[in-house]
Structure 1
Amino acid sequence: MRTSVHFNTPKTSQSPRNPKYPSKLIPTRNKLDSYNVIKYPVTTESAMKKIEDSNTLVFIVNRQANKNHIESSVKKLYNVSVATINLTNSPGGDKKAYVRLTEEHDALDVANKIGII
């Protein structure tokens, strides 16, 4: 005989999964390595002005890259330390990173080494 309007099914025991084969045969790899994060440096006149005046390098980067990815990639590829990073999404679908270097590194020297200038 029911004494309530609610009907709750009793809790059943859940056994842990014991698969016969793995759901993924090959583990996924990190698609954003240092060479995929930074696409290419920007070589416009405004980017050159940034290099000379504010010790800042300008790069076009991967759309999924965040500031941590960009900082580690710049450190690994160019052996410089980064002070700050600013990001902008352009209307064309690119992401642009403004990477300001610390005072001990000169952006003009790094740009010469990369081949921007």
Structure 2
Amino acid sequence: MNIYDVIKKPLITEKTTIEKDARNVVAFVVNSAANKIEISAAVKALFNAEVASVKTVNVAGKTKRTMRGVSKRSNWKKAYVTLKEGQNIDFFEA
């Protein structure tokens, strides 16, 4: 799998911002078929950062009610990437 297909986008929320500041953990939305080794290699290649560990979570899509009945959002996968000491990924570089 291509490294550009593995990582879809960074996941920037209040929780992930706190984790980044406290524990040097960055979150990404990743391809559902990607494994931890591929995610680690993609982060290293794209951001030039050393990875300590990767934890993945499969997120179930929410069920939503609409005027026409019930629909379901897509399932997706997120990865929490712990960076080694001294490493940093800055998404909003000036």
Distance (Å, rounded) in 2 between the aligned partners of 1:56 and 1:101: 6
Q: Calculate the TM-score normalised by the size of structure 2.
A: 0.81
Q: Percent identity?
A: 38
Distance (Å, rounded) in 1 between the aligned partners of 2:57 and 2:4: 20
Distance (Å, rounded) in 2 between the aligned partners of 1:99 and 1:44: 15
Structural RMSD (CA): 1.2
Counterpart of 2:81 in structure 1 is: 99
Q: Which has the higher strand share?
A: 2
The structural deviation recorded for 1:55 is 0.2
Partner SS state of residue 70, structure 1: helix
* Higher RCO structure (Cα 8 Å, ≥6 apart): 2
Larger radius of gyration: 1
Consecutive aligned runs of 4 or more in structure 1 exceeding 4 Å deviation: none
Task: Tell me if 1:83 matches 2:58.
Answer: no
Q: Deviations over 1:3-33 (max 9, x none)?
A: xxxxxxxxxxxxxxxxxxxxxxxxxxxxx21
Flag structure 1 segments of 5+ consecutive residues without an equivalent: 1-31
